[in-house]
A and B are shown apart, each in its own frame.
Chain A
Amino acid sequence: MKALVWQGVNELSVERVDDPQILNTHDAIVKVTRTVTCGSDLHLLGGYVPTMRSGDILGHEFMGEIVEVGPGVRKHKVGDRVVMCSFMSCGNCWYCKQGLTSLCDNSNPHPGFGEALWGQSTGGCFGYSQTTGGFAGSHAEYVRVPFADNTAFSIPEGVTDEQAVFVSDAVPTGWMGADLGGVKPGDTVAVWGAGGVGQMAARAAMLLGAERVIVIDRLPERLRQVEEVIGAETLDYSQAEILPELRELTGGRGPDVCIEAVGMEAHSRGPMNAYDQVKTPLRLQTDRPTAVRQAIMAARKGGSVFVLGVFGGVVDKFPLGAIMNKGLTLRSAQQHGHRYIPMLLERVQRGEIRTDHLATHTMPLDEAPKGYEMFKNKDDGCVRVAFRPGG
């Protein structure tokens, strides 16, 4: 089959590879209908995740049709139209039973990496480096889906492929940020990043009752989507000083909940950017936490900050004093999508969450290297590129 392969920093190619096989009784094989770019892939592309290996197949946000099931699969059958959570859940460990599914104990065959880096390992994820298990990704014609009963979700009638595919990753990630960030009716919520994840976090905050939701970015096409499709307010950080602006917008209090959806390659203005740009390549810090720092400084006293952006290692100039003295709650996670996806599919079906506008570009898989180039540079208003492996 054909697949999009990582060959090195900023180097992708479409190659002929073997078809996947059923290896465990709970596996299914899915024929991929739609598979999309995610901001997380940019961290891999840019070489910020050291356990990538040339030849690894990218992609973790996808939907398709089940074409084969292992003998242990109960809920699904051949022909089911399904969307997969980007993380895999065994359904039987303590973490899965608590709904903390991206922390699954049994889905990552390479726990040594996470334990060495962080003291404990995450669960398995499709196409996301050896650290999350070394599984082949979804930018391919077929994918093996381990623990298919838990990882794959049937797509209800009336939800299109273009809508459903984002319920794999962007929608549950955003929802988790608002939910576990503790958004309550009447809250003011600020979201950093107007990519797929930030937009979905903003929409989730609105649906959870936030009275004001403000999304921060600098890309005009994305800020326009936030206003027109999501229905939230926007701030352009290339035009405004974010901290005083947010104070003014919130009567001097600061947002109740700050959700960071930017990640380790955050861009910034001013002297801190130069500082981070110098330190990161010298390996004195591994990640650039610009938006996290700002979210912590902006949050109201006793408020909360949820870090959705992916970070891999250590950061510098982290405002721990602000967390301590303002009594903030800081939370984070890789997405625990399994607890939300059925509910989110229903909300998409009812039109409460719109997702299809995120796929600003659709291409056959053959053009995926070009698609990633556009996505990386945000060319032509690109928010996410959807690939059609079937052509």
Chain B
Amino acid sequence: MRATRWALVGAGIAAGTVVVARSIAPKSPGGRELEKGRWRSVTIDKPVDEVMRDGIPEPLAALGDLIEVRATDAPGGRGTELSARLVDGEPTGAGAGISRLSGTDPRQAVRTALREAKQLIEVGEVIRLDPKPEGHRRNTPFGAIVDMGAKRSGGEGVL
């Protein structure tokens, strides 16, 4: 198992900016640094020290070694840009499509965790939807697509 360690990176950029990240870069067997995933971000309307008061906020912290996290001041006093990226890079190929459908794509976990971390910090809870009243749901192919879309929506999108 990879060690988890905290580091301050990018020190000396904009004053007041706290950038914390899990700093371990994975190495391929040959020792070359693997290409990491792209940063995914949410902006939280709270200052960085509040967002990072207890370290990486939950449920992002629960993703552990899967991700690197950074938190920076948003310009114009707009709070904190909280970002995460996959240490092992973006999934590709046919397998990636299947894991998106089955809900096991790690990007979905990152998006969901970023959105939920924001909600927990801004409003104190994650909005829930189920169980909810609903009428008879017909089994149709298009209905199945909408259901799948709704089920995965919290982890999908362009974030």
Contact = CB atoms under 8 A, between A and B. Distances in A.
A130 B150 contact: yes
Contact of A112 (B123, B130, B155): B155
B149 to A, nearest CB: 6
Contacts of A52: 146
Question: Which 9 pairs from chain A and chain B are nearest by CB?
Answer: A5-B135, A115-B157, A112-B156, A112-B153, A110-B153, A55-B137, A112-B157, A17-B133, A23-B128
Interface string B126-159: 0111111111111010010011011011111111
A45 interface: no
Nearest to A133: B129
17 contacts: A17-B135, A18-B134, A23-B129, A23-B130, A51-B149, A53-B143, A53-B150, A54-B143, A55-B138, A56-B135, A92-B122, A109-B127, A111-B153, A112-B154, A133-B129, A144-B132, A147-B123
Contacts of A1: 133
Interface size class of A (residues with CB under 8 A): 35 or more
A110 B150 contact: yes
A114 B159 CA distance: 11
A116 B156 contact: yes
Interface residues of B, number: 38
A388 to B, nearest CB: 19
Interface in A1-43: 1, 3, 5-8, 13, 15, 17-21, 23-26
Interface in B97-145: 115, 118-119, 122-125, 127-138, 140, 143
Interface of A: 1, 3, 5-8, 13, 15, 17-21, 23-26, 50-57, 72, 90-94, 97, 105-107, 109-116, 119, 121, 124, 130, 133-136, 140, 144, 146-147
A96 to B, nearest CB: 9
B45 interface: yes
Interface of B: 42-43, 45, 78-79, 115, 118-119, 122-125, 127-138, 140, 143, 146-147, 149-150, 152-159
A21 to B, nearest CB: 7
Given A23-B130, A90-B123, A116-B158, 8 more contacts: A5-B135, A51-B149, A51-B150, A90-B119, A90-B122, A94-B45, A106-B123, A115-B156
